[in-house]
Amino acid sequence: MNITDKKPLPIASQSKSKEFVPDKFKEVAGSMEQQFSEMMLQEMHKTIDRTEPENNAETFYKSLQTQEYAKSLSNGDDGTGLKKMILDQIYPQHMRNEINFRRFQGQQLAANQPKMPKKPEQQLIQGKELNHE
C-alpha cells in the first residue's frame, strides 16, 4: 500500500480528530514549526544588502524581533501549515480516536505518580541492621 493510496478523511472527522491529539504532541509540532519559521526568517535577513555592519545591540534586537515574527507566523491553528504536517507524522490520523487518547492520558497519569515502597518499615529495619553490623 502506497501513501498515495490513502483516501482523505471527511471534513467532519478531520475536525473531530483534532480534539483527540494530546497537548504534548501539539506543543512539539508547534515549537518545531516556530523553529523552522525562525530559521527561514534568519536566512531571509541574510539576503539583505547592508552598507554598514550591525553592532551587537542591533544583532540582539534583530534576533528578538525574528523570534517574535516566528511566533506570530506559527501562532494559531493555521500557521504555515507545517504544524499539521508534523502532527500527521508524529501522531497519524488513524491513531486519533478516543480510545488512544484515553490510553495516552492514563500512561501520562501513571508516569507522574510517585513511586512509594510497598513496605517501608521493612526497608528501614533492614537499613538499621546494616548500620549496626
Query: Per-residue pLDDT tens for 50-64?
Result: 888 889 999 999 999
The pLDDT > 90 percentage for the chain reads: 35
Domain count, the chain: 1
Mean pLDDT along residues 77-81: 78
| Mean pLDDT across the chain | 81
In a domain, 127, yes or no: no
In a domain, 125, yes or no: no
In whole angstroms, what is the distance from residue 94 CA to residue 81 CA? Answer: 20
**Number of Cβ atoms within 10 Å of the Cβ of 91:** 21
Residue 17: per-residue pLDDT? 66
In a domain, 1, yes or no: no
Of 16-25, 30-39, 92-101, minimum mean pLDDT range: 16-25
pLDDT band at 75 (very low <50, low <70, confident <90, very high): confident
C-alpha cell of residue 19: 480534539
In a domain, 64, yes or no: yes
Query: Distance between terminal CA atoms of the chain?
Result: 67
Whether the predicted pLDDT of 1 surpasses 60 = no
Residue 50: per-residue pLDDT? 84
pTM: 0.65
In a domain, 126, yes or no: no
pLDDT band at 4 (very low <50, low <70, confident <90, very high): low
Mean pLDDT along residues 93-113: 88
In whole angstroms, what is the distance from residue 87 CA to residue 93 CA? Answer: 9
Please indicate whether residue 9 or residue 48 has the higher confidence score (pLDDT): 48
Nearest Cα neighbor of 112 from 104, 100, 120 is 104
Parent domain of 72: 8-112
Whether the predicted pLDDT of 6 surpasses 70 = no
In a domain, 83, yes or no: yes
**Which residues contact residue 41 at a Cβ distance below 8 angstroms, ignoring those fewer than 6 apart?**
66, 69, 70, 73
